[in-house]
Structures are given as structure tokens and as C-alpha cells.
Amino acid sequence: MIFMFKVHWRQLCFCFFVVTVVGLPLAQSRAGAEAVRLCFTRWEPYAYDNGDGHGPTGLAIDIARRAFELSGREVTFVQMPHSRCHIGIRLGLYDGILFESLKEKPVEKLVTSRFALINRVLVAVVRDSYPHTRYRGLDTFEGANWLRIVGDDYPEKIINDPDMYPVDVGENAHGLLMLRRNYVDVVFRDLASLHFGADAVKGATGLKTLLPAVDVEPFYMRLEERLAPVMQAYDDATAKMLSDGSIDRLFYKHLGFSQIAFNHYFSGTDTPVLPQDRLMP
């Protein structure tokens, strides 16, 4: 009986050792696979949360969520002003930012995705009576007053153009209404937001959009440097989504046409204005 007790005791100790040694990496693996916490600034139709209980949604949200899902990661999204997002990353509340321009030079050490998640396609909106029907360079707006929303980012070529005159307004200004009422001559807007945002132009408005786009700027996901392997897995998943048509299906869901068709539209030609690796995503 004493001998059997010693044998059983040794077996129990051995089992405890095996469970501890084998289980530790498993626990660490699970801990390492915690959800990626992303913050984002509202930008319809790409990423927005209406606070109606349905959570964040939009084209960029769906692309990112699916890519992380394919790479074996969960992801969470929180909407907030852009500056607060970077503060949250520094405080350890978030792991990265869903999208931002490469012109941003954050103080945090971040890695950037290989793929642009979205593009800001800046187009000019004018009244129907405006003498031009297409955008042919900034001299299209020579002598015009343009709406500049304080706090918004505009291309340097617009800001520095000496032949246009900015009319500064607050962030909640109704730019298209001001355009209709002749307070300004031209409003520069993101093309997707113009047609699919909360204040989308619908029906006969007395306004027209001049194509091709005035400026196209890609926006990229960024994660903390320690998550570089996670970003690599995300990029691999995004490449797969590009090749198998998943990206196009999401474009159809949110915009009603494919990724390439969207680029054809804003470029005003049958040839996309961006090389494939910089198209959305």
C-alpha cells in the first residue's frame, strides 16, 4: 500500500509538471491573441458609429474586421476625434489607428500597413451655372472663393494657390448650403462622403461635381511597433482579399460598385489613377 501510494504520488507530480509546462505556452498564446484595439475618426461611408447600438460600421471597418478575422485576430473599434486617438495610444488604451494620412508624423512608434485602407478622393463641387464642366487644373477656379473648414486638412496646392480665396468657416458649417446660396463658388469634398455620407447629395440640387478628382490621398492603418507581426499577418490577409474578390464584394455592399469601377469614375478615364497596391484598400 505504501509502495502504491508513492507511485501514485509520483504520477500526480509528473502530470502536474506536464500540465504546467505544456499549458504555459498555450496560456501565453491565448494572451498574445488578445483583440487588437483600434480607434478611428468618423468618416462616412468608411467608418462611423451612430450610437444606435449596432456598433461601428462602414467599408473600412468591414475590410479591417475581415482581414483580422482571416489572420486569427479579433478587433475592436472606438470612434473619437483624431487627436484623442493618438493620446489613447500613448496611454496604452488603444493599439493603433484604423486609418490616417502618411503626412501625419506621430510621436508614437507605429508600423504602417503596406496597403492603403481607403483613399480620400477630393473633388470640386460647384453650382450648375459654373462655366466649367470638368476639372482641368486649379486655374479652373481662378478668382473663385472656396470653402475652407477650420481644422480640416487640404492639399498644399489648394492652400497655397494665390488665385483662389478661402472663406473660413467652423467645422459644423453646411458647406453645400453655403454653395447654393452663393456665399462661396467651390467646395472641395471627399467623393464617397459626398454621395454616401449623412449629408449626401440626392436628387436635383443645382450643383455639379467636376471630374476628374482634384487630389487623391491614401490613408493607411497603423499599429504599435510591438505589433509588427500582427500587421504582417493583416497585410497577408488583405492581399488574399484583394485576389479572391472579397474587397470588391465589400465595395458593392457599401458603395454599389467595385473597387476598380470607383477608381475609373473619379479618375474620369478608363484607367485607374493609382497603381494596384495603392488602390482601396
Residue 222 backbone phi and psi in degrees, to 5: -135, 140
> For residue 227, what is its C-alpha cell?
505589433
> Is the separation of the CB atoms in 268 and 212 below 8 Å?
yes
**What is the reported pLDDT for 119?**
92
- The pLDDT of residue 219 is above 50: yes
- Per-residue pLDDT, averaged over 208-226, amounts to 94
The set of residues, in sequence order, having a beta carbon less than 8 Å from that of 227 and lying 6+ positions away, is 36, 95, 96, 111
Q: What is the mean pLDDT of the chain?
A: 84
**What is the reported pLDDT for 116?**
94
**What is the reported pLDDT for 194?**
87
**What is the reported pLDDT for 144?**
97
Dump pLDDT digits (tens) for 139-186: 999 999 999 998 889 999 999 999 999 999 987 678 888 999 999 999
Q: Which residue has the higher pLDDT, 7 or 48?
A: 48
Alpha-carbon distances, residue 62 vs 29, 117, 121 (angstroms) = 26, 11, 20
Alpha-carbon distances, residue 40 vs 15, 89, 165, 225 (angstroms) = 48, 12, 32, 18
Helix and strand tally (H, E) in the chain? 9, 8
Dump pLDDT digits (tens) for 251-276: 989 988 888 878 777 776 545 444 34
> For residue 131, what is its C-alpha cell?
462655366
- Measured between alpha carbons, how far is 140 from 212 in angstroms, rounded to an integer? 12
Sorted by where each starts, the structural domains of the chain and their CATH numbers stand as 33-119+219-278 (3.40.190.10), 121-216 (3.40.190.10)
**Strands of the sheet with 75-79, listed across from one edge:** 75-79, 36-40, 96-101, 207-224, 110-127, 187-190
Dump pLDDT digits (tens) for 8-36: 444 444 444 433 433 433 333 334 568 99
**What is the reported pLDDT for 14?**
43
Dump pLDDT digits (tens) for 92-130: 999 999 999 999 999 999 999 999 999 999 999 999 999
**What is the reported pLDDT for 210?**
93
CA proximity to 100, closest of 52, 137, 46:
46
- Measured between alpha carbons, how far is 57 from 46 in angstroms, rounded to an integer? 8
- Per-residue pLDDT, averaged over 232-254, amounts to 94
- The pLDDT of residue 71 is above 50: yes
Categorize the per-residue pLDDT at 250 as very low, low, confident or very high, splitting at 50, 70 and 90.
Answer: very high
- The pLDDT of residue 218 is above 50: yes
DSSP for residue 53: S
- Per-residue pLDDT, averaged over 52-75, amounts to 96
Q: What percent of the chain has pLDDT over 90?
A: 64
Q: Which residue has the higher pLDDT, 75 or 198?
A: 75
> Is the separation of the CB atoms in 99 and 64 below 8 Å?
no
**What is the reported pLDDT for 203?**
60
